[in-house]
Each structure stands twice: as C-alpha cells, then as structure tokens.
Amino acid sequence: MDVKKYVIKQISVFSENRPGRLAAIAHALGEEKVNILAFSIAEANGFGVVRALVDQPERAYKKLSSIGFNVAFTDVIAVHMQDRPGGLYEIAKILGDANINIEYSYAYSGKEGAVLILRVDQVVDAIEKISKTGATLIESSVFH
Amino acid sequence: MFWDKTNETLKGKKLEALQVRRLKQTIRQSQHVGFYKKRLTQAHVRPEDIKRPDDIQKIPFTRKQDLRDGYPFGFFAVPLKKVVRIHTTSGTTGKPTVVGYTRNDLDTWAELIARNMTMAGVTENDVFQNMVNYGMFTGGLGFHYGAEKIGMTVIPSATGNTKRQIEMIKDFGVTTIHCTPSYAMHLSEVAEEMHTSLDSLKTGIFGAEPWSETMRSSLEERLGVTAFDSYGLSELFGPGVAFECPERDGLHIWHDIYFVEIINPKTGEQLGDGERGELVITPLKKEAMPLLRYRTGDITMKMEDGCLCSRGQKIGRITGRSDDMLVIRGINVFPSQIEHVLLKIPEVGNQFMVYVDKVNHLDEMTVDVEINRDYFSGELADLARIQKKVVQELHDALELRTTVKLVEPGSLPRFEGKAKRVVDRRGDAI
C-alpha cells in the first residue's frame, strides 16, 4: 500500500494571542487565492498555533513566511465519517480499538462529506492500522 | 600600538604628581561655577589642600541631579563664547543634561578616541563606518573626530536604513564599525536576510550600553570582527573614557585624564581593588565643564594592575548602570543578565523586552522574547517546552520567577541608539 498518498500537509502558523492575528493570516491567504478547507486554533500561555488545511499548502507557506509569519508543515491524516448522529463515535471507537493515540484533531463537513483530521505521532503506522479497520482514509489529492 | 605612549603608560610617582597638579587646576577651574564655589567653601576645600591623590576624599560628590538642576549652562566654567560645542545626554525623565566643550576640550576628547582606536589596532589604513546618532548624542561626533585624527577613512553613516549601511560596508570595504551592541546584532540579522557576507570587517567597537561576553562571542562570530568594549559618558566628554586593549580583559581608563575611584554607593566610602561598586570620576583636564568626584552610576571595579600591554590599571566591564538596575521583589536585576540568558538559548531570538508590573502589591516581571524561526516545529507542545525552558533558565540566573511570553519573530522593537528594553509600569499602579 502506498501510504504516502494519505499523508496530508497541514500548515501550522505560530501566532501571538492578540487581536487581529487570525485576520492577518486569513487576509494573506485570501490574497493568494488559497482556499482554507478547515482550520483550528490551539492556544497556550499567551500564544497559539493556527492549524489549517488548505488547497495550496506550498503557496500558503511561502506567502505567510514572506510577511513574517513563522510557518511549519505538519503531517496529518484525514478519515471519512458518516455525517449523522453517531458518526464520530464509529470512527473514534475504531481508532481506540486500533490503539491509535491522537495528539489533536478537528473536523469539518464539506462536499467530501464529514471529515475528521487527525494528528498522530506515528503517521505511517496509523495509516496502516486504520486501513485495516475498514474506515476510509482520504487521499491528500482530494485536498491539494 | 600606541597613540601617545608616554601618557598611556604613565605610572607610579610620575602619574600621581601629574594627577595632583591637574586636580588642583580642576578645583581652581571649578570655582568659576557657582555650584562648586559654594560647595567647596562649605567643605573648606581649597586647591592647596590637595597634596596627595588621597586628599580627593575631602571633596564632596557631584551627582547627576546636580547637573540637571544647573540646566542649561549652570555648570559652565567659561563664558559661552569660549564654548564651541554643546551636547546633551539622553535623559529618561525631565530635562536633559547639557555638556559644553571648549576648543581644547574637543582636542583632548579626540586625542582620547585616537588612543582607544589605536589601542584596538586600527590605523590610517582602515575604513571606519560610524553607525551611531550624529546629533546631540556624543557617540557620533566623538568617534568621528577621533578617527579623523588617526587619519582613518571615516564614513559618517549615522543610524537608520540598515540595508544601506550593509551596502556601504560592502561597497566601501569597511574594516571597522562603531555602534551599539544591539544594533550590531540587528545589522547581522539583516545581512543574513540579505544573504550578504561582510567580509571586509575586522574590528567592531561597541558601546553605549552594557553587553555580555556571550554577546561578544555571538557578534564576533556573526560579523567576523574582533569586538572591543568602549565606555564613556557625555558628562566626561563622551565615549573614550575607557576602552579595551587587545587582551580584552577589562577596560583601560586614562589615568592622566580621569581620576578614578570606586565607592560603596550607600556609604560613599572608597573601595579597594577587586571590590565592586560605583565608579566615581574626576576629569582632570576639562575646561568648559569641570566636574569633581562625579558619580557615574555605573557598577564596576578596579582590576589588579599589570596588563600585558603595559598601560595603566583597568576597570572591569560595566555590569550595568545603577539606574538600569531593576529591583524585583528585592532582587537586583540588570537587563544585561537577561540578555546573557537568552543568548544561550538557541530556540529564541536575542531581542527582548522586559515589563515590570505591580500585581496585588507584588512585582511581576514579564519577558517578551521572539521564537527563533528555525526552531518552530508547528507543535504547540514544543512551544510550551521552549517557554518553560526560558522560564527555568531565567530563574536559574536571576533567582526570580518571571513570566515569559513567546512572540512572533521580528515583532519586537530593534534599537539603533541606546536600547530601551525595560518598561517599568509599577509607578502606574494605583
């Protein structure tokens, strides 16, 4: 199995916790015609990381870096969910049973249906485990 | 290399005799100043009472506040027509302190700068870019005329437009620069962003703010210079008072021009060699504005005599000005200590800001520091780990709990003149 096609590039942006930072990031991406498919903000002691799944990660990385943001790529995986009550439970149970440890996760519902994005510590291992459970992994080509 | 070997290496009885003679002359000169006339009469000190260098202790101290009270020309000992230049010092509060120079004063000052720069090994073959303020700040014109005196090729670039500064260094083959250590760090950052290497540089003269040994190695590595510490203050002409020789272990202070004492700042008692205290200086060759036992507010010590270069007794590098010193929950903190800690942590940048607040009657210190671009993994947990590391290292060095805020790279202010990294907001509390 080619696990690589399931590895998705998330952009992670360091941001101080002060008004206007998200607007600055979103504006820059808008200008570059980069579409944000999903994002989340994680916050700790006065600073945070904005995580986003975008259609053109390289372009987003370049643009944000050029205006001074500190940006990194993070490998995540995406799992398809049923967009109905109990949909998340089904997937979460499968992940739990397969003994996959989630560092963080966020979800969105779009034209591909409901999608759960996962950051795990062992990406390749997780992809192999999930593919054996019958859950549907989404290829990175769907996003970018 | 010496500029004025006789005077630079003057020692023992010869030096003492010269100091006593000049001290007497300085007392005579100061009697043209209303403040000193009154002070000396009250203290019953006349020039003839000075027989040995030790007799200087009979004279009362002069404080910066005295000079402020004399604003603008209260400390001039000559008529204004004899004053050919005026500088002012960057006072943080209220009126600045005004200093005046006669033509002879300017000449003495340029001689001192020439001594310093020659001691650092630069000659008329060097190209010198002077990247400090050329206005009221003494660092600009002070170094300018000293360097011209040596015969160096002087580029009065002043401050601002860092990219242009870098282009000039490259295009003009600059070998020697003078600026504040924090601006030098900024310069190296910008050069790095421009992918420019500054190969012609060999000597860096840094002063006007205290800087650490870690900062020295960092600047030497980044700029490819040998870094020299320069000390001075406007009240004593400006830069040029003390300077490092190639040994770079303490600063030579010019004993024929400045009478040096180290005192306990609380009691005013003189301290011995190796004891840290406040530097008190009596300039021995000033016409326009003589000063007696001027309390500099700078903390240092007299070092053991006997430098390999055979010049006179050195003073230790300034660890901070007593007015830069913060007292946080009873603990003395110098901004230079914080800088020292941050330079050792590669995950964060070298720029910082310190905010001091009063929260529930307790002093709280917050240090803002930039995350280093190369160390951002994208993971929040890694950032939290870096933050914790900085808190821990600061705690180890200062014995003080601080709040550390990680901020975006490039977001903290860069200073071209004297860095103002401390914002004490305790006075604002009700």
pLDDT tens digits, one per residue of B250-262: 999 999 999 999 9
pLDDT category, B280, cuts 50, 70, 90?
Answer: very high
Range scoring the smallest mean pLDDT among A94-98, B79-83, B235-239, B308-312: A94-98
Ranges in chain B annotated CATH 3.40.50.12780 = 1-322
Which range, of B24-28, B29-33, B334-338, B420-424, averages the lowest pLDDT?
B334-338
Q: Is B94 a residue whose pLDDT tops 70?
A: no
Rg of chain A on CA atoms, in Å: 16
Q: What is the mean pLDDT of residues B288-306?
A: 93
Cβ A73–B371 below 8 Å, yes or no? no
Nearest CA to CA, how far is B345 from chain A (Å)?
18
* Cβ(B77)–Cβ(B33) below 8 Å: yes
B212 vs B340: CA distance, rounded Å: 6
Cis peptide before A85 (omega within 30 of 0): no
pLDDT confidence of residue B141: 97
Here the tokens at position A45 are 């002691």
What is the pLDDT, as a whole number, of residue B360? 78
* Mean pLDDT of the B19-25 span: 97
Question: Which pLDDT does position B430 carry in this prediction?
Answer: 46
**What are A8's two structure tokens?**
């998705």
**Scanning the structure block, which residue is given the tokens 């003495």?**
B108
pLDDT tens digits for range A3-43: 889 999 999 999 988 888 999 999 999 999 999 999 999 98
Instruction: Give the pLDDT of residue B93.
Output: 47
The Cα of A53 is separated from the nearest Cα of chain B by a number of Å equal to 13
Could you tell me the residue ranges of all domains in chain A? 1-144
Positive or negative torsion for Cα A114, A119, A124, A126: negative
Q: Which fold does the domain B326-428 belong to in CATH?
A: GMP Synthetase; Chain A, domain 3 (3.30.300)
Neighbouring CB atoms inside 10 A of B64's CB total: 17
Phi-psi map region of B423: left, alpha, beta (phi>0 left; psi -120 to 50 alpha)? beta
CA B45, B51, B53, B54 torsion-angle sign: negative
Taking the CA of residue B385 and the nearest CA in chain A, the distance in Å comes to 11
B89 has pLDDT over 50: yes
User: Which residue, among A8, A21, A45, A121, would best test binding to B if mutated, counting the most B CBs under 10 Å from its CB?
Assistant: A45
Q: pLDDT category, B415, cuts 50, 70, 90?
A: confident
Fold of B1-322: Rossmann fold (3.40.50)
Q: What percent of chain B has pLDDT over 90?
A: 71
Q: Is B60:B293 a contact under the CB 8 Å cutoff?
A: yes
Query: What count of Cα atoms within 13 Å lies in the side-chain half-sphere of residue B165?
Result: 26
Buried b (16+ CB within 10 A) or exposed e, A81-107: beeeeebbeebeebbeeeebeeebbbb
When pLDDT is cut at 50, 70 and 90, the band that residue B72 belongs to is very high
**Phi, psi angle pair for B352, to nearest 5°:** -155, 165
Q: Please determine, for residue A107, whether its predicted confidence score (pLDDT) is greater than 90.
A: yes
- Touching check for B383 and chain A: CB below 8 Å? yes
Q: Which of residues 14-73 of A touch B (CB under 8 A)?
A: 14-16, 42, 44-49, 51, 68-73
CA-to-CA dists, residue B3 to B6, B111, B154, B246, B362, angstroms: 9, 8, 18, 14, 53
β-partners of residue B226 are B203
Q: Which residues pair with B405 in a beta bridge?
A: B368
The whole-model pTM stands at 0.68
Classified by CATH at the fold level, domain A1-144 comes out as VC0802-like (3.30.2130)
Confidence of residue B350 (pLDDT cuts 50, 70, 90): confident
| A44, A70, A73 ranked by CB distance to B408: nearest | A70
**Is the pLDDT assigned to residue B305 strictly greater than 90?**
no
Residue B416 — pLDDT band, cuts 50, 70, 90?
confident
Q: Tell me how crowded residue B227 is: count the other CB atoms within 10 A of its CB.
A: 22
Q: Which of B371, B387, B411 sits opposite A45 (nearest CB)?
A: B387
Q: Is a pLDDT exceeding 80 seen at residue B327?
A: no
Question: Given pLDDT bands bounded at 50, 70 and 90, which one contains residue B146?
Answer: very high
**pLDDT of B117:** 98
Domain with CATH 3.30.300.30 in chain B: 326-428
Provide φ and ψ at A49, rounded to 5°. Answer: -125, 125
What pLDDT, on the 0 to 100 scale, is given for residue B410? 87
Which residues of A are less than 8 Å from B384 in CB distance?
Answer: 44-45
Closest residue by Cα to residue B70 from B89, B53, B46, B55 = B89
Residue B91 pLDDT exceeds 90: no
pLDDT averaged over chain A?
Answer: 91
Contacts of B410 in chain A (CB under 8 A): 68
pLDDT (0 to 100) of residue B68: 86
3-class secondary-structure state, position A31: helix
